[in-house]
Structure 1
Amino acid sequence: MSSLSTPDTSAALGAANAAADARRSASAAAHTAAVKRRERAAQWHLLFLAVVVLGPLVVYPLVRLVMLSLTGAHGPSVHAYASFFGNPETRGVIGTTLWILFASAGLASLLGVALASILFFKPFPGARLITRFLELFVAFPSFLVAFTLIFLYGSQGSVSIGLQRLFNLQAPPLDFLFGVGGVILAEVVFYAPFVVRPTLASFALLDRRLIEAARSLGASGTMVAFKVILPLAWPGIAAGTILCFLLTLNEFGILLVLGSAHLITLPVAIYSAATVDLDLPTAAAGAVVMLMMSLSLYALYRQVNRRKVKGAGHGR
């Protein structure tokens, strides 16, 4: 049998194996090249779709907005910005906008963190259902919340009428809805769920052993919350809070329903300049200012969210 294994046979087998390996390598290289070509083609298709869709729907309107804000009666000009910032009422409008922004977004953030803490650390029957409802709540348009509050706390709302009949009052006792109080209440109710979801996600990433270790060392519940839980979950809480500020800054539906003639914020002023005064350059200048504020908040949100993801990766 050993006579069958000759040097020529071994060389032939080696050559055949080498040829087979070469074919497999060539096939693998061809497959890899084909996959890369398909990926590049898919990327080009996505880029083409992005240009075709985002170009006319997003980029072109923004470019036109900026150009309109820089257009005067006799060519390029910053007169629209001078008119916007030179208006004596602009300072009051910006002050009102910031006051409502910080009051609404701040209270909504506190309420969102509190709700997330209860739902995560103190689960009760129905907590999962409430969580799902809060997740669904963010899909509602904001003006529905405003109308709901009118049906409850308006002059003919069920709560107002109930209190009036209960205490035999001559008029409905609740008269706060159409003004700053009503706008802040509606925005807090509507935007608090936007903070709940990222806060719950941050709580889910916590190392429960750290919490148990703090409790075993005698730390009180308040100390555990402020010294362990909140610092560890802060990136998610901060991301939700900044998102809440961003959305509240651009809120218009609630203001349109519950606002009064004396409650003018930046979105309302821009809308009024464009539709009532027909001063499109000044409205465009205000819109550009508001766009810069929104982009600044969005950049901050992205930065915090990036740190959150990086921290979660290091944690694992």
Structure 2
Amino acid sequence: MGAEQRYTRAGSEIHAGPVPEGSGEIQEILAAAALEDGREAVSEQGRLRLRSGTARPGVTHLVQSAVGQEQPRRVGYAQLEAGGASGSPGTAELVVHPAERGRGLGRHLVEAVLAEAGGPVDFWAHGGHPAARRLAGAFGGELVRELRQMRRAGKAVDEAPLPAGVTLRTFRPGEDDEQWLRLNALAFAHHPEQGAWTEQDLADRFAEPWFDPAGFFLATRGDRVVGFHWTKVHPGTSAGPALGEVYVVGVDPAEQGSGLGRALTAAGLRHLTGDAPGERGLETVLLYVDADNPAAVRVYERLGFTVHEVDLMYRVR
């Protein structure tokens, strides 16, 4: 991957390269799909990469246009992240404009992604969209991951004390970046996306309008950061009120079993749902957790979270 490639078949042409030109049209496709489907077709990470317009190692953008008429128009988009050096599959997300669906464009996108990857690819079906599941089935896709979105309503949060010797403070951008990235990589060493965050990934989020260091909590033991809870607020829209999010919770493996994760989660929930000065007073909080992490699922269930919807990942070989 890296050099631009072109994949053509009747009525559809796909350009694959490191950075797409004219991303505004792609943003329009994503917005139309989100409105139609009730959820984003491409993850936050993918949308940030697209908006930044910066080439990322191992990331390929595939832009699909309808051809055979006077003015070609963009109708679909896919993003492929290469697999690791160990031969792990690549990861892809794709979307077709709602007005263009049912014409085989999604199949052409999958074929182009597979050709570009040159090996197995894990495709996300966000929200378990029926059309995405059918497309995966057409390519013999195997379900390999289930990411649950869980939600919790209400303000009551049980107190959860910090372990002895641990204190809580908020994140200081520009000062805590390096130590946080190191702990994030340690806490999520086996996580396929979160553990690989870079300085650029962090900077991209600092630049987002939702970023608020007052909702980014660090647990410290002396001078060492041993845990964190980064919260997020999704602004209200015509479709519903603002939502809080347990964005990322991480704990140093050396602190596992100490109750630190529960204390951090409770602190973030109080910030999101509380009515004290500086707290956000939100009614509903969401989070994402892998279904194959039963320990985390049980923790969140005890805190009142229930499954709202699921994202599914299918491996196509």
TM-score (norm 1): 0.22
Work out which of the two has the higher radius of gyration on C-alpha atoms and give 1 or 2.
Answer: 1
Higher relative contact order (CA 8 A, sep 6+): 1
Quick check: which one's helix share is greater?
Answer: 1
Quick check: which one's strand share is greater?
Answer: 2
